[in-house]
Copies of this chain bind each other. A is one copy, B any other.
Amino acid sequence: MRHAYAVILAGGSGERFWPLSTKARPKQFISLFGGRPLLSLAVERLGGLIPPERVFIVTAERLVEDTAAAAWNVPRANIVGEPCKRDTAPAIAVACGLVRRRDPDGVVCILTADQLMSDVETFRQTLADAVEMARRGDAIVTMGIQPTYPATGFGYIDAGEALETGTVTRFHQARRFVEKPDAYTAARYVEGGHHFWNAGMFIWRTETMCRAFAEHAPDLAELCDRVAESGTSEELDAVLRQAYPSLRAISIDYAVMEHARNIVMARGAFGWDDVGSWPSVAGHFSADLDGNVMIGACEQMESQNNIVVSENRLTALLGVQGLVVVHSDNATLICPRERAEEVKKLLRRIAARPDGEKYV
């Protein structure tokens, strides 16, 4: 599709999948699925729709080299490193500037680096429909995923009246974005049938983006302009280094989406998973008869419902239940699966060790 550009946001802190992911190797570099990093899958799934030379990646400065290695077919000049973490809105402003610099009529697909999708063909068709919808007007198109369970870990989009239907995609007015709900509310959302998971994907023309930033976040509009006006990579780096430290950290939801009126939701009927925790990783692998998901060399006896990631070593379980066991080259995590998301607290403790830097 001419004028269609992808911008993959690939920051990530590496805490949730510690010790397999670390600060130096966040989630998008994990190669659990098909032996390829999630980032590489994110580029590949655009194949046929948006070629790698029209893919941009915004990542942390310190991750640029590893990002270039994982997304080996994306031109090096399309990979931009942020000098510090400022959440999604500044990254998207930079992305907008990058695309404008290349193509003022560009339609920008903001995508994420660290999610898994199944039925990729449907994803591509939905994205194509969304690009077409965005190209024709000033809509901010966002993807809403049909919820398959009452997730409390995602934000939701409250979908309003049905609009037109694209080649495969039903569009709705997006009434509002709602934050992560409690379990009761999530269950009501799923029953109600008009709430969809906010997948953090946005498709809009650069002009629409610029107008939105100008209206709701003037500092980011200025950043976008300066990026668009920068010539060489060195100039771009200088712009970022000068601008970033004084920017506030703010998500695109808070900076723009909550205020914008012209948001259209594309119903995504493809499989989508944030793979936000070890139990959700396990959901993508088949379990043994005792419910154990064992990735790598494992042996178990009288053990049930464990998740083991064992690369380059044998993990032997005897009589244990419901554990997550993950090894990296130099560290091992052991916790009950229902507490896997508390690892962040543990990491603060580990980081405080004299030798903590080796591990986190």
User: Which residues of A approach B to under 8 Å, CB–CB?
Assistant: 19, 297, 299, 301, 310, 312-320, 323, 325, 327, 330-336, 339, 342-343, 345-346, 349-350, 353, 355, 358-359
Checking B314, B315, B330, B346 against A318 with a beta-carbon cut-off of 8 angstroms, the contacting residue is B346
Give chain B nearest CB distance to A349 CB in angstroms. Answer: 6
Residues from chain B with Cβ under 8 Å of A313 in the complex: 327, 330-332
CA distance A334 to B336 in the complex (A): 13
B332 pairs with A301, CB closer than 8 A: no
A334 pairs with B315, CB closer than 8 A: yes
CA distance A301 to B342 in the complex (A): 10
Checking B299, B301, B332 against A314 with a beta-carbon cut-off of 8 angstroms, the contacting residue is B332
Q: How many copies does the complex hold?
A: 2
Q: Is the interface of A mostly helix, strand, loop or mixed?
A: strand
Residues from chain B with Cβ under 8 Å of A335 in the complex: 317-320
CA distance A173 to B212 in the complex (A): 98
Residues from chain B with Cβ under 8 Å of A339 in the complex: 318-319
**Which are the 6 A-B pairs with shortest beta-carbon distances?**
A318-B335, A314-B331, A319-B339, A301-B346, A315-B332, A318-B346
CA distance A350 to B310 in the complex (A): 15
With A332-B332, A334-B334 as given contacts, are A349 and B317 in contact (CB-CB < 8 Å)? Answer: no
Checking B314, B318, B343, B358 against A342 with a beta-carbon cut-off of 8 angstroms, the contacting residue is B318
Checking B310, B312, B316, B330 against A333 with a beta-carbon cut-off of 8 angstroms, the contacting residue is B316
With A318-B333, A331-B314 as given contacts, are A301 and B349 in contact (CB-CB < 8 Å)? Answer: yes
